[in-house]
Amino acid sequence: MHKFESTTNVIIQDAESVIDNKKSKELEYNQTYSVYIPNPEEQIAIKKSTLKKIKTECKRAKNNKFPWSEIFLSISSLCLGAFLGAITSKITYGLNLLSVLYYNIAPTIGIGFLVAYFFYRKRENENIINLATKIEEYLSEIDDNINGFLELHTSIENKPTDKTVNIKFDKTILTDNKLGNLDLVAIPLAGILNELSEKGIHVFYRTVDPNIVPSEKQINELSAMEDITFIGYPSGLYDTINKIPILRQGITATPIWNDFQGKENFLIDAGVFPGSSGSPVFIYNHGSYPTKDGIAIGSRLLFVGVISKTLQIKDAMNNYLNLGMVINSKSIFRELDKFIQRKKQDNNTKAN
């Protein structure tokens, strides 16, 4: 029986003791973590029934929005204004209609409508609070039901089939499995893959060999503008018949050897859209490639990072800039090694 070493979303490492096989009997990843607030470009699913509830409450609030409070305040202001105007105009109080209107009827009506205004405003505020409370309750359902899964196609003769296996995990994986300060998480799958293999279920996947991660020397020899290739699912698009993702190409927009904005990232100039996040980025040259010293003859394949973000223009249209943020591979492997060692220590602690 072939035993897998380990897989994450991008690499292979020796981490056989990371997953407890006892917890994967239902082919689900059931560890518990805390949720991380995603970037604005990232999206979450909201139930249709929840949206209908919110829409109904908002419609009810709009239908009840007759401006009674404004009318009450206007009448009150008019009457109390007339009363104060009579005083400043030194209209003599007497038993005539004008005097009674200004000094008796006007202030009484004015005070009455002013009281009505305050009571109605209080009621409106309560309605707003009730609406906000209901919407908050509906949205809390989202937080309680955010779950994720990995969908892997089964494999026959090392080729993908149309059958899939879903490996589930809950929202809290986004913090305990987070790779340091990077916008990435690691999902250990060794135990689950071994269990699937024992049941005769083989899944199709490809990994990145650590040997194609560029060394410090190779990074420093890179040109400021390199051709890059990345693999992913832009806007969720992929070949559903042949079960393969989409290949796209571009160039580096900032040098890989520089930390963009002081972080371990660089930018690429390419068609990067939502769904491209998580795409591995490669430098792939066939025949020749540029270096700082000129043109080198030969072929080259380097894993240089993972796309973490799509950049947009900050305007009403939110147009895309065709720029993507890439976390460099050196930092990914460094944090992954720390993650694996931490998991091994946790397992050893539990065993003792």
pLDDT higher at 98 or 184: 184
Tell me the CA end-to-end span of the chain in Å, nearest whole number.
29
Global pTM reads 0.57
Backbone angles phi, psi at 202, to 5 degrees: -110, 130
| Nearest of 142, 184, 187, 140 to residue 31 by alpha carbon | 187
30: buried, middle or exposed (CB in 10 Å: 19+, 13-18, 0-12)? exposed
Cα–Cα distance for residue pair 268/281, rounded to 1 Å: 9
Q: Which of 25-39, 208-222, 302-316 has the highest mean pLDDT?
A: 208-222
State the amino acid at position 39 in one-letter form: N
Cα–Cα distance for residue pair 300/311, rounded to 1 Å: 28
Q: What is the pLDDT of residues 3-25, one digit of tens each?
A: 444 444 433 333 333 334 444 44
Backbone angles phi, psi at 214, to 5 degrees: -65, 140
Residue pair 82/107 in contact (Cβ under 8 Å)? The answer is no
Q: Give pLDDT, residue 17.
A: 35
Which alpha helices (DSSP H) does the chain contain, by range? 48-63, 68-88, 97-100, 106-145, 173-176, 190-198, 216-220, 329-351
Q: What is the pLDDT of residues 225-256, one digit of tens each?
A: 999 999 988 888 888 787 788 899 999 999 99
Q: What is the pLDDT of residues 197-218, one digit of tens each?
A: 888 888 888 888 889 999 999 9
| CA angle (196, 202, 203) in 5-degree steps | 100
Q: Give pLDDT, residue 84.
A: 84
Q: Give pLDDT, residue 230.
A: 94
**Predicted confidence band of residue 44 (pLDDT cuts 50, 70, 90):** low
Tokens read off for 312? 């947009």
